[in-house]
Amino acid sequence: MATKKNTTKAKNDSKVAAPAAEAKAAEVQTKAAEPAPAAQAAAPKNQPKAQAKGGMLREVTARPQPAGNPYLPMTATVAEVIQETGNIRTLRVVLDDAEAMKNFTYEPGQVGQLSVFGSGESTFVINSPPSQKNYLQFSVMQAGEVTAAIHRLSPGDKVGVRAPLGNYFPYNDWKGKDVFFVGGGIGMAPIRTIMMHVLENRKDYGKVSLLYGARTPRDMAFSYETEDWLRRDDLDCTLCIDAPFEGWEHKVGLIPNVLTELNPDPKNCVAVLCGPPIMIKFTVQALEKLNFAPENIVTTLEKRMKCGVGICGRCNIGGRYVCVDGPVFTWKELQELPPEM
């Protein structure tokens, strides 16, 4: 089925993406104040650290951090809004400080806190690749008060941005390996940023594959890019929907079942997943049956992040903070966390 680009009206589309349950869980119900001028502040108390015992955490490497005070958002202007689906919008924002925009750096998988003044802030992955220097892209599924406020934004409106936060996909560890990406629904947003980064550095990796699924073709975000993905010679792209749909020419079936049918070779391969929790659960089970090692299954937990700097404690799992030790984890690491996971 041919995909079509969703055009936007200059005055009424805005969006930011994160899985429905994830977006609602991430929303901060306290009111966000107008951002104060940028100022230097003490670093958050809970800095990422390596743990030797049990190998639960990877050795932490340097990562991009917010400039100035990490607790104060930078003001930004909505430059463009794309209506992805009926309840998902992508928002492209530009920092008002031109020098800050020019010098802004981040790694694929890092997140940002996007705030609507008077409504609150929520956590979303920056789903444009780091090579994109003209704007920051967030995709948002409407699921609560803050995401509804984000969906009401139009080009020219002001927002607050606290970013970049958290760790990132360890793409350097994947060099020379095959990479199998799996995105479900709005979970394609985090997959998009790392997949585009890998494709931009294609010679560093082996076979690169994508399995992207949604309930129906109408629920498939980034539909204006999927045709390009399907045509690429250096990407093995498979699209699927849950049930038959008139005119659909690709796979039909749930992601775990289609994954089993594709039967990727686990040897020297990393599987990178993002989607609704129920999809992750059964997709991991399918990968385990295909003999993927837990350390070669990678996912992201940004839905659990609140303050993003290790202060509020809302994202702690045992003695770990998702916002400083994550949000990107291997399945092996997640298995070693307390049962609340």
Domain boundaries along the sequence of the chain:
20-165, 171-335
Query: Looking at the predicted structure, is the pLDDT value of residue 22 above 50?
Result: no
Quote the pLDDT of residue 303: 66
Query: Looking at the predicted structure, is the pLDDT value of residue 195 above 50?
Result: yes
How far, CA to CA in Å, does 166 sit from each of 12, 34, 327?
A: 31, 23, 6
Which tens digits make up the pLDDT trace of 271-301?
999 999 999 999 999 999 999 999 999 999 8
Instruction: Measure the CA–CA gap between 78 and 60, rounded to whole angstroms.
Output: 33
Helix (H, G, I), strand (E, B) or coil at 111: strand
CA angle centred on 61, ends 59 and 63, rounded to 5°: 145
CA angle centred on 290, ends 287 and 291, rounded to 5°: 95
Q: Which of 144, 224, 210 lies closest to 178, judged by CA? A: 210
Which tens digits make up the pLDDT trace of 108-157?
999 999 999 999 999 999 999 999 999 999 999 999 999 999 999 999 99
Confidence of residue 310 (pLDDT cuts 50, 70, 90): confident
Length of the chain: 341
Q: What is the mean pLDDT of residues 66-82?
A: 91
Q: Crossing angle of helices 255-262/277-289, nearest 10°?
A: 20
Helix (H, G, I), strand (E, B) or coil at 17: strand
Q: Which amino acid is at 52?
A: A
User: Any idea which architecture 171-335 has in CATH?
Assistant: 3-Layer(aba) Sandwich (3.40)
Helix (H, G, I), strand (E, B) or coil at 317: strand
Q: What is the mean pLDDT of residues 322-332?
A: 91
Specify the pairing of strand 269-274 against strand 178-184.
parallel
Q: Which of 216, 82, 88 lies closest to 143, judged by CA? A: 88
**Two domains, one topology: 20-165 and 171-335:** no
Per-position b or e across 64-100, b if 16+ CB within 10 A of its CB: ebbbebbbbbbbbebebbbbbbebbbbbbbbbebeeb
Residue linked to tokens 């951090």:
65
| H/E segment holding residue 65 | none
Q: Do residues 91 and 8 make contact, with C-beta atoms less than 8 angstroms apart? A: no
Query: Looking at the predicted structure, is the pLDDT value of residue 158 above 70?
Result: yes
Query: Looking at the predicted structure, is the pLDDT value of residue 323 above 60?
Result: yes
CA 122 to chain centre: 13
Instruction: Measure the CA–CA gap between 254 and 260, rounded to whole angstroms.
Output: 10
How far, CA to CA in Å, does 155 sit from each of 8, 14, 72, 80, 313?
A: 10, 7, 23, 5, 34
Instruction: Measure the CA–CA gap between 317 and 297, rounded to whole angstroms.
Output: 19
Confidence of residue 340 (pLDDT cuts 50, 70, 90): low
Top CATH class, 20-165: mainly beta
Confidence of residue 311 (pLDDT cuts 50, 70, 90): confident
Confidence of residue 316 (pLDDT cuts 50, 70, 90): confident
Quote the pLDDT of residue 191: 98
